Each structure stands twice: as C-alpha cells, then as structure tokens.
Amino acid sequence: MSIEVYRDAWGIPHLRAADAQELSYAQGRTTALDRAWQLEVERHRAQGTTASFLGAEALDWDLFARRARLADTARRCYDALDEPTRTWVDAYVDGVNDGLAHGEAQGARRSPEFAATGLVPGRWEPWTPLAVWLSTHILFAGFPTKLWRDTVARSLGEEHIELFATDGPATSGSNGWLVTGERTATGAALIAGDPHRFIEAPGVYQQIRLACPAFDVVGLAVPGVPGMAHFGHTGAVAWAITNAMADYQDLYRERLRRTGDGGVEALGPDGWEPARVHTETIEVKDAEPVEVEIVETERGPVIIPEDAEGPIALRYPPRVTGELGFTALPALLAARTVADVDRAFDRWIEPVNVVQAADTEGGALHRVAGYVPLRHRDNRLRVVPAWEPGHEWTGHHAPLPREAVEGVAVMANARGLAAPLGVEFAPPHRARRIARLLDASADWTAPAMAAVHTDTHLASARPLLTLVAGAADLGPEAVALRDRLLCWNRRMDADSTDAAAFAAVRAEVVRRLARHPALAELATPPAYPALFQPWLALLPRVAYALETLLSGGPVPEADRLAVVREALVAVADAGAPDEPWGATHRLAPWAALPDSTADWPGLDGDHDCVCSTSSVPGLTDRAARGPAARYVWDLARREDSLWVVPFGASGVPGDPHQRDQLPLWLRGDLAPVITDWNQLTEERHDHH
C-alpha cells in the first residue's frame, strides 16, 4: 500500500494514498492509533455492551441500545449499501482493525483507560461505522420531548402542550453562516460556524485531511465513521451543517398480549398482529448479567416496556427505510461544485440537517437534507395510540425546503428554512445576532469571523430584566442589585461579575418558578427509564423555557413579578456574587472514564449567546455543551481557512496533542489549515 501519513504542528493527520479505498483504510487506521479508546467506547455504545467494562451505571444506555435495535438496524443499512460504498466502508473498518491490532507502540496499548477497565480492543464489524453513526444521532431529534409534552397535557391541560417549547436541555444545536463574495474582502465566499454538542473528551470531531488523485479534502470527521459528513472543504467547494430541529421520530403507545406459544401480539389499526420478540443478555462488570426482552411491533421496537398506559415503541427512519444515507459520504469527498454537494445531500437520511455550501465559481447552497416522514400532526407532538388509524407514515417530505442565498445566510436552529418540518426550535436570538454582526461589514475575512464565534451578548435576558425593572418595595441591597443588573451590558463574559449576578438571580427565579403551585403536578417526573430523565425533569424544563414562562403560561402575572422580586431579595441578602461568571461557569466535558484530577477552565458565553456554552440555570452553572469545533472555510484560498477543536488531535492521555488546542479554543482563536505538504512532517508506519 502506498499510504503516507503526515502531521502538522497540532498533530492533525494529513493522509495521502493511491485511491479512495486505500485512503479510507488509512483514515480508519490513523483514527485507531489516535483514538483507540474513544473508538472502542463508541463501538460498545452502538452494540449496547458498555456495562461489560463500565459497570452498572452504563446499563441504562445498553438497555436502550438493545431495545431500539441500533446494531441490527446498522446491519440492515449496511446490507442495503451499493457495492462501491460498501467497499469503501469495508476499507475503513479494515484500517480500524489493523490500527487496533498493531497499535502497541502508538495506539490502543498507549491508552491507560484499557488497563483501568480491563477492556481489550475488539474487532470492528463491517457495519460498525453505521452503528456508531446511528447511536451518535438517535437522540438528536429529541423524541423524549414527546413523553414530556404528554405529561404536560395530562397535568396542565391540552392548551399547554407546547408551553415549554424551546431548545431543550439535551438537544444539539449549532451556528453556521455563509457570506457570499459580494460581502468579503477577497470576492470569494466564506462559510463559518460551530457545532454545539455535548463536549466530550476526546472530542466528537476529528480534524483530518484526505488526499488521493481523485480528491483532496480537509474537514471534520466523526471518529469511527469514514469521510467527512458534516464539514469539509475540497478546495473547489466547501460545506457545513446545523441541526434542522426537524421532527422525524415517532412514539406509539402499544397494546401487547402474550400468546400461548410464548409469542407476543400487538394491537394495530387492523386488529391484533404478531410482534417479533426475543431475549438478549447484557453483561455487567462486577454484577450479575441482565436479561432483556426485545419486542418489535409493526410500528417499531418497544423502547419503554413498562408504562402505566402501555408500552411505547419508537419509529425512526433508518429502521423503516433500511438507509442511513452513507452513499452521500464518498460523493461529498468527490464534490467539485455546489451542484455536486446538493446531489450528494439528496441521498442524506439521518440526522436531518440544514446545509450550506459555496464553491469557487460563486455558487451557493442553503437547504434542508434528510428524511422527514409525512404523518398526522399529533405524531410530532406526543405519544400516539398504535391501534388508532391515522398515525401511519404516508411517504416523506420532498422536495425539502431550500432558499437562494443573497449576501448572507444564517443557520442557528431557529424557526426558518426547516419550520414546516419541526415543532420545537431554538429561540431566534443567536440567528438574529449573527445576522446583525455580519451586516456590520462588507469586506469580511476568515480571521475576522472569530469575533462572531465568540460574541457573548445575551438577548434572552430581556424578559427577566423587564420584570427586574418593575420590582418594588426593595431594601437597599436589593435596590443596588436591581440597578446593577439594569446597567449591565448583557454580555456573558467569563470575567464579568455582573454576568455572574444576573446568572445568580436567574437561577433563583428558575428554582422558585419550578416550585410554583401552577406547575406542582410536573414536579415528579413520570417513571420512564433514567436515560430519558433529562427531558422529563421540571427544573431544566423551566430553565430553558424561562422566557416563555415569564411572559405567559399558567403562572399568573402577579406571581411572576413576585417570584422575580423574591429572587432579587434572596440573592442580595446572600451577598450578590463578587466572583466573575467564569468562576462557576466552567467546562464540564463528558468522558466514559471521567478525569477526577482535571481542573477545567471558566468559559465565556451562555445558552442563547452566539458563543453558546450551555449550563442548566437553577441546577448548575457548569457547561456540558458548547462549540465542539469552530471552522472558517475560505473559498478564495483554502490554505487561509481556519479551525479549532476543544482539546486536540489525540485521544491518548499525556500525548502532547491531547489538549494542545484548548487554550486556543478558550480564547476564541483558530489554528490555520495547513495544506502545503512541505510544511508537514511525515510519519513512518508499517502498513499491512
């Protein structure tokens, strides 16, 4: 094999090979050497086998992964791939297996997590990358929100079913923007943004370059998945995505009964019909194995087997269609124009995204991509009865929405292009703020985009501050706090004590609202599996819907004003914070094995800032979500493009490139995308 591996100063891999197959192999092998532990955690998550080495606390995820049939769905989707795509995926898997097996010096054996857990790197199956993709995105569309809405409707009444609608505590959002050549210094387009996801260590995005005679692409890959699905620059065309916030997964309440021969039947619109049923065993480290019964009806797999009103099944597109959209991935690598990118995304299934693209010929693209089923509106809102007609899927939305790009296009999970496809969207603050910032110049450059990435203005503070301004009968400390907040510049800067004071008052308001008698029936979450509790707990729901709840809803206006007044007094009496926001608003990354020694830094930003670092007001100021990468794709000269990830290129503790980008990321700085092979350092490996 003629594979060449180069690294830049940040340890980012640049791979060169004779053809796309060899390159896919090289991507898999290099990822295994850099990220062995991460890859193996993802493989086990996709299979529902994490409890075997992480213990009982991982059991909830494994139960869900098994019940939802993630691995089986991935197998089906793999079997349905066309031959060229399948061969390309196979090459990646061969590379991963080679890297895991031969990584004694650099890879798997270097990661101390293997020794700590007793996990031995296993073998990837040809379908494993599809399973990783599926498990990474199965919760993206937030179907547990339907369980919450059902609870709200039952507790507060049907008129309040969408009361808490907002960018919820466990959704994933992003910023993205495209500036056409008329508005840049070079006369060529710029695409920039940052995907907001749970910040994981190692990171969920891997900076990489893939080059062969057919193409040469830089971008952000998902470790465990070949190609660059979400963000890439081929030199001639670049693309990026954000979550469209579309609704494309349904929950059905089932009626099941046992048959004499040990089978199960489900009641559908046409009467009782056989369901598929079998039992699986989940191994649990330091505990007895757990048997789980897997039931699948005509609607889909039963993911909640026990509920007061009947089991609940999940219907999701890849399980129904047998497609994940992987044929788009090699097509994107080979893209030369916006039209090529557009055609590639026609094949996209999951998750549903808003896509932006621009090319060196002046082409621009702004569209939705993915599979959104056509069905009754109730399916989008809540759990629907499986036995009633009218809740079946009747095809899918086609064509998906798109619009022309004139000067600037912004995508930030707000209602907009994808509005007909969803129910809950992000508040409009980030999208409006980005558009306003971009309007300030007509000669944008790639480095100047960092100022947009890092903007900390918090427009969603307005409803709370309006009530603060109306607070009366205050003592001198509370008056001083009120006046301080009203003079604050509304920027959530890490070094701002006024931002900390606002956050303290907001947290107190959230806690008091959550205790209000009007919401009392929501205080005890329904008894669904623990995995879904982030969507079902009242306090986070109040925190994220605070603007809505302070402007209307079941809490009377006089009580809302009283809650804000009491919160001001309580914070003032406790001594308004004199520490800056960053003292408590600190990074809290997820890791399969958390690093108990890490002292994570304070962060700029807040949930609704463009610099979106999300905590749960009232519960914690620590930020588990934020920009999982930042990028600027320059269509004038690709080598003027910029990128950064929160940690680094390596997933190996102690490696110099494990966290070397963290200082850049914290400051809002970006690293250059190096494309000159002469500026890179070749790495020597034996290739098998």
Strand partners, 197: 626
Strand partners, 231: 220
Pairing of strands 384-385, 250-253: parallel
| Spatial distance between the Cα atoms of 313 and 252, rounded to a whole number of angstroms | 5
Closest CA to 640 of 499, 445, 377: 445
* Segments of 312-415 assigned E as strands: 312-315, 353-359, 364-369, 384-385, 408-411
**Using alpha carbons only, what angle is made at residue 503 by residues 500 and 504, rounded to the nearest 5 degrees?**
85
Whether residue 341 is found in the same domain as residue 478: no
Question: Which tokens is 602 given?
Answer: 């304070």
CATH number of 378's domain: 3.60.20.10
Boundary of a domain, candidates 394, 426, 453: 453
Whether 567 is covered by a domain: the verdict is yes
Whether residue 441 is found in the same domain as residue 471: no
Print the SS3 string covering 575-640. Answer: CCCCCCHHHCCEECCECCCCCCCCCCCECCCCCCCCCCCEEECCCEEEEEEEECCEEEEECCCHHH
Whether 636 is covered by a domain: the verdict is no
Between the CA atoms of 568, 572, 575 and 577, what dihedral angle is there, to the nearest 10 degrees? 40
Whether residue 353 is found in the same domain as residue 441: yes
Cβ burial, residue 596 (10 Å; 0-12/13-18/19+): exposed
pLDDT at 169: 46
Longest CA pairwise span in the chain (Å): 79
Whether 70 is covered by a domain: the verdict is no
| Spatial distance between the Cα atoms of 32 and 588, rounded to a whole number of angstroms | 25
pLDDT at 110: 76
Confirm if 531 and 147 have CB atoms less than 8 A apart: no
SS3 for 76?
Answer: helix
pLDDT at 525: 87
pLDDT at 688: 47
Whether residue 438 is found in the same domain as residue 336: yes
Boundary of a domain, candidates 262, 296, 320: 320
pLDDT at 686: 57
Pairing of strands 271-282, 290-296: antiparallel
**Which residues are within 8 A (CB) of 562 and not within 5 positions of it... i.e. 6 or more apart?**
none
Whether residue 337 is found in the same domain as residue 289: no
**Which residues are within 8 A (CB) of 407 and not within 5 positions of it... i.e. 6 or more apart?**
179, 180, 182, 183
Whether 366 is covered by a domain: the verdict is yes
Helix (H) / strand (E) element for 413: namely none
| Spatial distance between the Cα atoms of 549 and 156, rounded to a whole number of angstroms | 14
CATH number of 310's domain: 2.30.120.10
| Spatial distance between the Cα atoms of 304 and 526, rounded to a whole number of angstroms | 12
CA end-to-end span of the chain: 8
Whether 433 is covered by a domain: the verdict is yes
Q: Which residue has the tokens 């329904």?
A: 526
Which tens digits make up the pLDDT trace of 429-460? 999 999 999 999 999 999 999 999 999 999 99
Whether residue 342 is found in the same domain as residue 437: yes
| Alpha-helical segments (H) within 48-163 | 51-54, 59-67, 70-79, 83-101, 112-117, 128-137, 144-156
Confirm if 21 and 215 have CB atoms less than 8 A apart: no
| Spatial distance between the Cα atoms of 19 and 330, rounded to a whole number of angstroms | 12
Neighbouring CB atoms inside 10 A of 592's CB total 20
Whether residue 384 is found in the same domain as residue 484: no
SS3 for 299?
Answer: coil
Q: At what angle do helices 20-47 and 128-137 cross, to 10 degrees?
A: 60
| Spatial distance between the Cα atoms of 207 and 205, rounded to a whole number of angstroms | 7
| Spatial distance between the Cα atoms of 502 and 385, rounded to a whole number of angstroms | 44
| Spatial distance between the Cα atoms of 97 and 103, rounded to a whole number of angstroms | 10
Domain count, the chain: 3
Whether residue 380 is found in the same domain as residue 396: yes
SS3 for 238?
Answer: strand
Whether 604 is covered by a domain: the verdict is no
Q: What is the pTM for the complete model shown? A: 0.96
Length of the chain: 688
Q: What is the residue range of 541's domain?
A: 144-168+457-490+497-579
Q: Within a 13 Å sphere around the CA of 687, how many CA atoms are in the beta-carbon half?
A: 20
Edge-to-edge order in the sheet of strand 290-296: 256-258, 264-268, 271-282, 290-296
| Spatial distance between the Cα atoms of 81 and 85, rounded to a whole number of angstroms | 6
Q: Which residue has the tokens 């004071």?
A: 501
Amino acid 530 reads A
Boundary of a domain, candidates 453, 480, 513: 453
Whether 395 is covered by a domain: the verdict is yes
Q: Within a 13 Å sphere around the CA of 61, how many CA atoms are in the beta-carbon half?
A: 22
Whether residue 333 is found in the same domain as residue 189: yes
Pairing of strands 237-243, 250-253: unpaired
Give the DSSP letter string of 313-329.
Answer: EEE-HHHHHS---TTHH
pLDDT at 574: 95
Neighbouring CB atoms inside 10 A of 435's CB total 15
Print the SS3 string covering 240-304. Answer: EEEECCCCCCEEEECCEEECCCCCEEEEECCEEEEEEEEEEEECCCCCCCEEEEEEECCCCEEEE
| Spatial distance between the Cα atoms of 298 and 273, rounded to a whole number of angstroms | 8
pLDDT at 410: 97
| Spatial distance between the Cα atoms of 52 and 592, rounded to a whole number of angstroms | 13
pLDDT at 107: 52
**What stretches in the chain show pLDDT beneath 70?**
103-109, 166-172, 685-688
Between the CA atoms of 109, 29, 654 and 624, what dihedral angle is there, to the nearest 10 degrees? -110
Whether 198 is covered by a domain: the verdict is yes
Whether residue 340 is found in the same domain as residue 261: no
Whether residue 163 is found in the same domain as residue 231: no
Which tens digits make up the pLDDT trace of 179-230? 999 999 999 999 999 999 999 999 999 999 999 999 999 999 999 999 999 9
Amino acid 73 reads T
Whether residue 292 is found in the same domain as residue 333: no
Strand partners, 373: 396
